[in-house]
Chains A and B, each alone.
Chain A
Amino acid sequence: MSVILEVRDVAKYFGGVKALDGVSLSVPEKGLIGLIGPNGSGKTTLFNVITGFYVPDKGSVLFRESNDLVRIDGLNPNEVFKKGIVRTFQIPRLFNSLTVLENLLVTPLGQRGENPLRALFTNSWSTQERELAKKAIELLKTFNMLHYANSKISELSAAHIKMLETIRGLMTPAKLYLLDEPAAGVDYAMAKELFTYVRKLRDEHNLTFFIIEHRLEILMEYVDYVYVLHNGKLLSEGKPQEVISDPKVVEAYIGV
């Protein structure tokens, strides 16, 4: 399978702290790949480098654009999104004064009504707006959230908030999803449901997922491949079963 994202020897230092110290990894298309590691191992920093929040001090990040891998490190977060990468955050970032439906409608790029001159003439954007609204409604139906369409974010459960943050990416032609601890703060049964949805999305929409998780045991049965970070370096990688029995991983987690 071809590679959609490649991280080559990436390093990111904060003063004396080596948050990432020469990390290389790759994510295959339509993969469901895990990224685990103890607290402070550099998982979120890696996501921040990939999505343009940090410029790496060393190394490069490449992303598939038709048949080529092109460098995306150094781009701004909004440009990275336009390439087709959506990310979610450890603490979900939704727009709290907007409704669930509006949170989905904000996402699509190239909305005519976002141009201030066209915004003045409702006719010039209302057709597109209706189409986008229909698409958003379909999405909410698929994920059993239609009855929340007109609700404020504060009325949703933690799991629904995480779900909404993920599915708003489906309003765009994005290909790669970076999920930062989607199951944090969600109970075990709900976390499993969430990952079942992720797998369904991968299968039905041909998407790729790269998922940070703190607790390996939840992720185990869903992912194809796992990378383990420790102190900014890649400690181990492989199939979930192999990784979990790797003595180095056990040591890093238990801290012996």
Chain B
Amino acid sequence: MIGFDVVGFLISWLTLFGIYAILSLTLNLESGTAGITNFGKVVFYGVGAYISATLTTYLILMLNGVDVSETPPYDIRGVILLSELGKKNPLLNIGLLVSSLVIAFVMSGALGYLLTYPILRVGPAFVGFTLLSSGELLRIFLQHYEPVGASKGLMAIPTPFEWVADSRVREAAYLGLVLGLLALTYVVTHKLVNSPLGRTLRALRDDEIAALCLGKHVPRIKATVLFIGSGFAGIAGVLLSYYLTSVNPNMFVPAVTFNVWAMIILGGFGNLRGSLLGAAVITFVDRILTFVTPQLGITIISPDYLRWVVVGLLIVVVLLVNPRGILPEKPIKTPALDVMWEELRGESK
């Protein structure tokens, strides 16, 4: 193929994979392991993205002495100023990244807890619909809220590595950051699943009434899981906003949530490695179509539509072969297993 930029493709695919895998790992913890129907993953993703976009653009202008009431970041003059001022101070860029990550985690997490705690008692379908409609409410609110650019959104968000001159190095450094945070998410979700908490979450998923009768405070446990999952979704949102260097309300439609659901259904419900695999496959399809379609000169069908066709087909085929996804759920690993095997081996001797 002529002019296919392999390195560029890999960087772009892996960055998108890293961001989506953070979403799919935590959605799998919430929905696969704990059985919470989270149809509002996009809410917390969007909140994270808007927190970093707002914080970064406003603070960079303000700290450079720009009067944001006259020249707000969503104004064309603000956008021009941002692209000039964005690379002046590396320390500021990094500082903004770190504070965005922390604030997005806490705010998205708190929102996840508060949105769900009151409704978790009324059953899974209501939780799903409440979160789904919260996402739409947030999107419509953002569309009309002038300080974050209303329907235009915020643009020219200076990235954490804006000061690096070479664009390839800049992209690679950013990929490193994304993969680092993905590794952190994996370690956290893996530890949580393979612990007494993970066992209790599976128990709640299997039979909520029985768990209640064994003294488990079901709504609180579920809301806590949503705090953790939504906090990480906020982190994924921060990463997205710096990756695309712009945010607008139409990026956060319900289809984003269902794309993540497709990843965990494909990869395997309740299996964390499955979530990584699902995220890798679906983002790969997405990227390859975006890269390849223009070169093939296909104009009658846009890659956007083709993506949904391919993903739908993949899910149908995988579920026909294995209804539990590519990688089925594995038993929980805790030290109790060692104790059991010691005993069972002793028994058979």
**Which residue of chain B lies nearest to A141 when distances are taken between CB atoms in the complex?**
B343
**Which residue of chain B lies nearest to A124 when distances are taken between CB atoms in the complex?**
B195
- Is B344 a contact of A150 with CB atoms below 8 Å? yes
Q: Which B201-243 residues have C-beta < 8 A from chain A?
A: 202-203, 205-207, 209-218, 221, 224-225, 228
Interface string of B256-289 (1 = CB under 8 A from A): 0000000000000000000000000000000000
Q: Would you give the shortest CB distance from B181 to chain A, in whole angstroms?
A: 16
CB neighbours of A94 from chain B (8 A): 207, 210
**Which residue of chain B lies nearest to A101 when distances are taken between CB atoms in the complex?**
B340
Q: Would you give the shortest CB distance from A124 to chain B, in whole angstroms?
A: 10
- Is A125 a contact of B215 with CB atoms below 8 Å? no
- Is B209 a contact of A105 with CB atoms below 8 Å? no
Flag whether A111 is at the interface (Cβ < 8 A): yes
Among A4-12, A114-122, A181-189, the stretch that binds chain B is A114-122
Among A27-35, A36-44, A131-139, the stretch that binds chain B is A131-139
CB neighbours of A112 from chain B (8 A): 196
- Is B199 a contact of A106 with CB atoms below 8 Å? yes
Instruction: Determine the distance from Cα of A61 to Cα of B228 in the docked complex, in whole angstroms.
Output: 38
Instruction: Determine the distance from Cα of A81 to Cα of B195 in the docked complex, in whole angstroms.
Output: 23
Interface string of B32-54 (1 = CB under 8 A from A): 00000000000000000000000
CB neighbours of A206 from chain B (8 A): none
Q: Would you give the shortest CB distance from A102 to chain B, in whole angstroms?
A: 6
Flag whether B335 is at the interface (Cβ < 8 A): yes
CB neighbours of B215 from chain A (8 A): 78-79, 81-82, 109, 172
Q: Would you give the shortest CB distance from A54 to chain B, in whole angstroms?
A: 13
- Is A113 a contact of B213 with CB atoms below 8 Å? no
Name A96's contact: one of B206, B217, B343 (CB within 8 Å): B206
- Is A129 a contact of B335 with CB atoms below 8 Å? yes
Query: Do A114 and B214 contact each other (CB < 8 Å), given the known contacts A93-B209, A129-B336?
Result: no
Q: Which A172-222 residues have C-beta < 8 A from chain B?
A: 172
Instruction: Determine the distance from Cα of A136 to Cα of B199 in the docked complex, in whole angstroms.
Output: 15
Interface string of B187-204 (1 = CB under 8 A from A): 010011001111110110
Flag whether B339 is at the interface (Cβ < 8 A): yes
CB neighbours of A24 from chain B (8 A): none
Instruction: Determine the distance from Cα of A150 to Cα of B334 in the docked complex, in whole angstroms.
Output: 13
Name A106's contact: one of B188, B200, B344 (CB within 8 Å): B200
Query: Do A111 and B196 contact each other (CB < 8 Å), given the known contacts A101-B336, A133-B335?
Result: yes
**Which residue of chain B lies nearest to A93 when distances are taken between CB atoms in the complex?**
B210
Name B214's contact: one of A81, A101, A126, A133 (CB within 8 Å): A81
Q: Would you give the shortest CB distance from A30 to chain B, in whole angstroms?
A: 23
CB neighbours of A86 from chain B (8 A): 213
Query: Do A137 and B339 contact each other (CB < 8 Å), given the known contacts A81-B213, A95-B203, A106-B203?
Result: yes
- Is B329 a contact of A150 with CB atoms below 8 Å? no
Q: Would you give the shortest CB distance from B228 to chain A, in whole angstroms?
A: 6
Flag whether A241 is at the interface (Cβ < 8 A): no
Name A133's contact: one of B198, B206, B329, B336 (CB within 8 Å): B336
CB neighbours of A134 from chain B (8 A): 339
30 residue pairs A–B, Cβ–Cβ below 8 Å: A51-B213, A78-B214, A78-B216, A81-B214, A81-B215, A89-B210, A93-B207, A93-B210, A97-B205, A98-B199, A102-B332, A102-B336, A105-B336, A111-B200, A113-B195, A113-B196, A113-B334, A114-B197, A114-B221, A115-B197, A120-B188, A126-B335, A129-B335, A130-B335, A130-B338, A130-B339, A133-B336, A137-B340, A150-B340, A168-B214
Q: A-side interface residues toward B, CB under 8 Å?
A: 51, 76-79, 81-82, 86-87, 89, 93-99, 101-102, 105-107, 109, 111-116, 119-122, 125-126, 129-130, 132-134, 136-137, 146-147, 149-150, 168, 172
With A77-B209, A78-B212 known, 18 other A-B pairs at CB within 8 A are A76-B212, A78-B213, A78-B214, A81-B213, A86-B213, A97-B206, A98-B203, A99-B331, A101-B336, A113-B196, A116-B197, A119-B192, A121-B191, A129-B196, A136-B336, A137-B339, A146-B343, A172-B215
